[in-house]
A and B are shown apart, each in its own frame.
Chain A
């Protein structure tokens, strides 16, 4: 049986599943959400039905947590828990396949600042997910901050959900500068028009958009009551005397994105500079494992879908389908990557944020580790990498397993943070679930095991 497994049903995963299915391969498409679309195409959870349809030979496994990937002879075994999130009644399932497409996406990077642990401080992605998926604004008066074009749709969604957006604080140069230069950096990016529309929404609602500014503190005893916004210099150090206090009951911050690497690391894919390394067919260093979307570099939904189409075709070819090189999708990937590189260069994270923190500012939210405790641990003990950093400081040892704090504490401590994404249990499961035996489907044919194949165009 020709079958592949695709993990993640966002733009990349849906495109991969469709591409493989159109080549006659059965696809098991696994996703944590109840509906297709992932974060970018998040659907209204309160509406009936699903706005996406996939080919008939795609089995969409919704509400599923992939908690482990295990190499087996000739392929990989993917372990799932399916059902109400984190509940005790989830059903176990294990699927084996010779080819796997990882399209696990990314989540917002949040930088710490005094008061960021107060209820009322959210990631930009949270504000977006709650507005689009649940029809709820995270606050009545919201300050949006961080860096990158994503802040615009977040502000627009908040307005759409009934919030007043008090201000948008962009830490780098204004995204609107890009909008004025369509033949330059924006060339070839179809989302340019979308950004213009968001900018129009902000202008209509008279939302101030300030560049080189950031929320450097949130105030309140048990919930956000106000925030301090400051102007930043080129290295993101707050400009003395530029601080302004704004009344707000919520803050939504996002400083770019962090890829969800744990499954790629479990499948032993090579990772460089924080992203999965892929070839022209989206093949990783692990035979039979393909990666698409934000895992391979932050580039947005269009690039993710193009990479997904290439990865799905390659995975189909890997399991024996007759596949011609998807040259058009491959060309879109190349131009998309050029654009993504320019975009990422325009919205870097500068080290000045280190000085937003005070001694008692929490850097690891789960374990409540302060900056002072982190620095003391690093100063007193020999920290050579992520493992020792976690053990001496406690940062990254909590339930989120360093997903939120990892990059930040690694940067503060001066070590490479990739190791934070090594999570043998990719998603927390309960001990009873771990103990439960799960049915394993379609064990890989013994004849096929041991064959090392690659896809080359």
Chain B
């Protein structure tokens, strides 16, 4: 299946999580923090830490380690605190 990450088409497989897709592409970070504007990516990998937040189909604050990709998902990096579009 195909999804898009920041507008670029990326190949993905059934059952992959957003974090699985991005890490397999060598992408380590996909959001910045509210306070220090620091890069963050995956940390706990099991849905506990909320560090790996990403925007999926216009909805921010989705845990990349928990969200299983679906055909056509629009995945976007997230900067600081974002409101749903």
Footprint of B on A, CB under 8 Å? 32, 34, 39, 44-47, 63, 84-88, 107-108, 110, 117-123, 125-130, 133-136, 138, 222-223, 260, 365-368, 398-400, 403-404, 428
Assembled-state Cα–Cα distance A118/B19 (Å): 16
Determine whether the beta carbon of B47 is less than 8 Å from that of A32. yes
Assembled-state Cα–Cα distance A126/B47 (Å): 10
Asked if B75 is at the interface (CB within 8 A of a chain A CB), the reply is no
Contact of B42 among A47, A126, A428 (CB under 8 A): A126
Contacts of A84 in B (CB 8 A): 67-68, 70
Assembled-state Cα–Cα distance A85/B49 (Å): 14
Q: Show 19 A/B contacts (Cβ-Cβ < 8 Å), sorted by A.
A: A44-B15, A84-B68, A86-B67, A88-B84, A110-B43, A110-B44, A118-B39, A119-B29, A126-B65, A129-B45, A129-B65, A130-B42, A134-B19, A138-B23, A222-B39, A260-B48, A366-B50, A400-B49, A404-B49
Asked if B38 is at the interface (CB within 8 A of a chain A CB), the reply is yes
Contact of A87 among B38, B53, B67 (CB under 8 A): B67
Contact of A45 among B51, B59, B68 (CB under 8 A): B68
Assembled-state Cα–Cα distance A133/B65 (Å): 11
Asked if B7 is at the interface (CB within 8 A of a chain A CB), the reply is no
Q: A127-B45, A130-B45 are in contact. Are A85 and B51 (CB under 8 A)?
A: no
Contacts of B47 in A (CB 8 A): 32, 85
Contact of B62 among A32, A86, A119, A260 (CB under 8 A): A86
Q: A138-B23, A222-B29 are in contact. Are A126 and B46 (CB under 8 A)?
A: yes
Determine whether the beta carbon of A87 is less than 8 Å from that of B62. yes
Contacts of B23 in A (CB 8 A): 130, 134, 136, 138
Asked if B14 is at the interface (CB within 8 A of a chain A CB), the reply is yes
Q: A125-B46, A365-B51 are in contact. Are A134 and B66 (CB under 8 A)?
A: no
Determine whether the beta carbon of A46 is less than 8 Å from that of B14. yes
Q: A46-B15, A88-B59 are in contact. Are A123 and B44 (CB under 8 A)?
A: yes
Asked if B28 is at the interface (CB within 8 A of a chain A CB), the reply is yes
Greatest chain B CB density within 10 A among A44, A45, A84, A120 is at A84
Determine whether the beta carbon of B44 is less than 8 Å from that of A130. no
Contacts of A129 in B (CB 8 A): 45-46, 65
> How many B residues touch A, CB cutoff 8 Å?
42
Determine whether the beta carbon of B15 is less than 8 Å from that of A45. yes
Determine whether the beta carbon of B42 is less than 8 Å from that of A46. no
Determine whether the beta carbon of A223 is less than 8 Å from that of B45. no
Determine whether the beta carbon of B62 is less than 8 Å from that of A126. no
Determine whether the beta carbon of A399 is less than 8 Å from that of B61. yes
B28-45 vs A, Cβ < 8 Å mask (1 yes, 0 no):
110001111011111111
Greatest chain A CB density within 10 A among B13, B47, B53, B56 is at B47
Q: Which B residue sits closest to A365, measured CB to CB?
A: B51
Q: A84-B67, A398-B50 are in contact. Are A122 and B42 (CB under 8 A)?
A: yes
Determine whether the beta carbon of A368 is less than 8 Å from that of B70. no
Assembled-state Cα–Cα distance A34/B63 (Å): 15
Q: Which B residue sits closest to A117, measured CB to CB?
A: B38
Determine whether the beta carbon of A368 is less than 8 Å from that of B35. yes
Asked if B77 is at the interface (CB within 8 A of a chain A CB), the reply is no
**Minimum Cβ distance to chain B for residue A192 (Å):** 26
Assembled-state Cα–Cα distance A414/B65 (Å): 33
Q: A45-B15, A119-B41 are in contact. Are A107 and B46 (CB under 8 A)?
A: yes
Contacts of B17 in A (CB 8 A): 45, 133-134
Q: Which A residue sits closest to B69, measured CB to CB?
A: A84
Q: Which A residue sits closest to B23, measured CB to CB?
A: A136
Contacts of A47 in B (CB 8 A): 15
B1-36 vs A, Cβ < 8 Å mask (1 yes, 0 no):
000000000000111110110011000110001111
Determine whether the beta carbon of A122 is less than 8 Å from that of B66. no
Assembled-state Cα–Cα distance A400/B53 (Å): 11
Q: Which A residue sits closest to B20, measured CB to CB?
A: A134
**Minimum Cβ distance to chain B for residue A66 (Å):** 12
Determine whether the beta carbon of B13 is less than 8 Å from that of A123. no
**Minimum Cβ distance to chain B for residue A157 (Å):** 12
**Minimum Cβ distance to chain A for residue B63 (Å):** 6
Q: A86-B66, A138-B23 are in contact. Are A223 and B46 (CB under 8 A)?
A: no
Q: A134-B16, A223-B28 are in contact. Are A122 and B45 (CB under 8 A)?
A: yes
**Minimum Cβ distance to chain B for residue A158 (Å):** 13
Q: Which B residue sits closest to A260, measured CB to CB?
A: B48
Q: Which 6 A-B pairs have the closest CB atoms?
A: A126-B45, A134-B20, A85-B66, A399-B50, A45-B15, A119-B29
